[in-house]
């Protein structure tokens, strides 16, 4: 039985490990005794490891056939590099700032497949666009709207983090790139807010985040591409106020006789308020719109997802939609259904006949269902 080592025992990592356990030998690596204890209680093998160091990563994956990365974004690039240097096939979900293609030469030299950005977004949107680019003569527009939100709206933020809170703040500070009329445009995150209505949810606000990532490089001929994050109305203004007041700054400032990083202080105050408690329910909403041409005629398709917390397994929607996308790709790679070497963002899988269909079917088995509108 193939051995998969999952790096990270957080909310998403634990969901992925449990999803893979029936079909693979799974070991979960983390430095948190508490998190590993939860995994052991669920019947999974665990391994204490310092994933913040290359040596710790390489020791953790030494006997793996495939590595599934689920660490916070600020650790993602170094973790992926260490896994590849250890000679391991890799699927990972981390939202890291570095250019993933800097790892391509390493993966190619080792003859390894490395699927990056393999979550809900980036992830499923990339797969959908890759599939459309294969089937249509031309894609002219791509838009991805996505957000994970708590069912219960609690003042003041009306938000809970379904994944690493540090990665949420990165979404609010990292400049957002999109493509308009063939040109790459860079705007501040949280900019160009607009209100949108979603069936079963109501009105949400959409704003720019840097979610296109590899798509800008992979599809230079698509003239219009944009990704926006969704939140309850009013959340953007609160985050903009904090950002513009300097609360997200990383460089230390002088306070009294000492120094403090504003971001570290903000995180210490915000993260407990954003933390999801056991039994807190959430939902994930996503809408992907594609326009293009096929056989000389205009074509347009819209795919909608509305996924909710699973009370039976006590799995959050964000863990389900993100994690089960990655485990579907693990199954695809493990079965030999995708074997391209080098760094492969999800759109590369989408371009392969049957790639998106396989992932979509695996998601549907777990009741994460994309519906065409």
Give the contacts of 120 (CB within 8 A, at least 6 positions apart): 146, 148, 284, 286, 318, 321, 322, 325
pLDDT at 367: 97
Pairing state of beta strands 297-308 and 370-372? antiparallel
pLDDT score of 276? 87
Please give the CATH number for the structural domain made up of 3-120+317-372: 3.40.50.720
pLDDT score for 354: 97
Q: Which residues pair with 258 in a beta bridge?
A: 255
pLDDT tens digits, 103-136 = 999 999 999 999 999 999 999 999 999 999 999 9
The CA-atom distances, in angstroms, between 66 and each of 20, 122, 169, 329, 346 are: 12, 21, 30, 12, 17
Q: What pLDDT, on the 0 to 100 scale, is given for residue 166?
A: 78
Cα–Cα distance for residue pair 259/274, rounded to 1 Å: 25
Pick the CATH number of 124-308 from 3.30.70.20, 3.40.50.300, 3.30.43.10, 3.30.360.10: 3.30.360.10
User: Mean of the per-residue pLDDT values for the chain?
Assistant: 95
What residues have CB less than 8 Å from 336, skipping those under 6 apart? none
pLDDT over threshold 80, residue 310: yes
Where do the DSSP E strands lie in 151-190? 176-180, 183-187
SS3 of residue 339 by DSSP: coil
Write out pLDDT tens, residues 322-348. Answer: 999 999 999 999 999 999 999 999 999
Kindly indicate the confidence band of residue 279, based on its pLDDT and cuts at 50, 70 and 90: confident
Strands 176-180 and 282-294: unpaired
pLDDT digits (tens, 9 = 90+) for 207-260: 999 999 999 999 999 999 999 999 999 999 999 999 999 999 999 999 999 999
Three-state DSSP class for residue 5:
strand
Give mean pLDDT, residues 188-201.
95
Q: Which of 172, 170, 189 is nearest to 96 (CA)?
A: 170
What pLDDT does 277 receive? 87
Q: What is the spatial distance between Cα 10 and Cα 161, in angstroms, rounded to a whole number?
A: 12
3-class SS shares of the chain: helix, strand, coil, % to 5: 35, 30, 35
Query: How many whole angstroms from its chain centre is CA 144?
Result: 13
The pLDDT confidence band at residue 16, using thresholds 50, 70 and 90, is very high
Q: What is the pLDDT of residue 339?
A: 96
CB atoms within 10 A of CB 352: 20
Cα–Cα dist 198/326, whole Å: 26
Q: How far apart are CA 95 and CA 123, in angstroms?
A: 11
What does DSSP say about strands 253-255 and 258-260: parallel, antiparallel, or unpaired?
Answer: antiparallel
Average the pLDDT over 273-301 and give the result.
Answer: 95
Q: Where are the domains of the chain?
A: 3-120+317-372, 124-308
> Whole-angstrom Cα distance, residue 146 to residue 223?
21
> What is the distance between the alpha carbons of residues 45 and 9, in angstroms, rounded to a whole number?
11
- DSSP-assigned beta bridge partners for residue 28: 6, 46
The reported pLDDT for the residue numbered 137 is 98
Q: Identify which of 277, 269, 272, 322 has the alpha carbon closest to the alpha carbon of residue 151.
A: 277
For residue 157, what pLDDT is reported? 92
For the chain, how far is it from start to end, CA to CA, in angstroms? 40
pLDDT above 90 as % of the chain: 91
Residue 45: is it exposed, middle or buried by C-beta count within 10 angstroms (0-12/13-18/19+)?
middle
pLDDT (0 to 100) of residue 350: 98
Q: Does pLDDT of 148 surpass 80?
A: yes
Nearest to 25 by CA among 7, 42, 1, 49: 1
Q: Do domains 3-120+317-372 and 124-308 have the same CATH topology?
A: no
Instruction: State residue 373's pLDDT score.
Output: 78
Strand order across the 3-7 sheet: 45-48, 25-30, 3-7, 66-69, 89-92, 113-115, 342-344
Residues 268-272 have a mean pLDDT of 90
| Per-residue pLDDT at 170 | 87
């Amino acid at each position: 039985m193939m051995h998969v080592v999952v790096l990270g025992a957080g909310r998403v990592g634990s969901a992925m490990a449990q999803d893979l356990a029936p079909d693979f030998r799974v070991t979960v690596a983390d430095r948190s005794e508490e998190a590993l204890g939860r995994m052991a209680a669920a019947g999974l093998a665990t391994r204490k490891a310092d994933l913040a160091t290359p040596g710790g990563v390489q020791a953790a994956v030494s006997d793996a056939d495939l590595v599934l990365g689920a660490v916070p974004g600020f650790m993602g690039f170094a973790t992926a590099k260490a896994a590849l240097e250890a000679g391991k096939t890799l699927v990972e979900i981390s939202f890291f700032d570095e250019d993933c293609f800097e790892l391509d030469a390493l993966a190619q030299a080792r003859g390894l497949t490395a699927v990056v950005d393999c979550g809900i977004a980036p992830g499923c949107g990339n797969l959908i666009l890759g599939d459309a680019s294969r089937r249509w003569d031309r894609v002219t527009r791509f838009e991805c709207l996505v957000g994970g939100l708590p069912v219960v709206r609690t003042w003041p933020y009306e938000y809970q983090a379904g994944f690493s809170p540090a990665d949420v703040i990165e979404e609010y500070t990292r400049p957002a790139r999109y493509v308009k009329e063939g040109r790459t445009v860079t705007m501040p995150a949280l900019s160009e807010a607009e209100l949108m209505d979603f069936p079963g949810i109501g009105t949400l606000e959409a704003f720019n985040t840097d979610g296109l990532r590899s798509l800008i490089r992979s599809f230079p001929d698509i003239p219009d591409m944009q990704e926006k994050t969704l939140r309850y109305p009013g959340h953007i203004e609160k985050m903009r106020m904090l950002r513009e007041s300097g609360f997200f700054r990383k460089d230390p400032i002088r306070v009294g006789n000492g120094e403090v990083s504003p971001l570290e202080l903000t995180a210490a105050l915000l993260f407990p308020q954003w933390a999801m408690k056991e039994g807190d329910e959430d939902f994930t909403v996503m809408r992907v719109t594609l326009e293009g041409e096929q056989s000389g005629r205009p074509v347009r398709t819209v795919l909608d997802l509305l996924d909710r917390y699973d009370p039976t397994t006590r799995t959050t929607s964000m863990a389900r939609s993100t994690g089960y996308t990655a485990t579907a790709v693990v199954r695809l790679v493990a079965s030999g259904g995708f074997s391209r070497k080098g760094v492969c963002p999800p759109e590369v899988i989408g371009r392969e006949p049957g790639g998106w269909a396989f992932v979509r079917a695996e998601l549907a088995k777990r009741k994460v269902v994309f519906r065409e509108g």
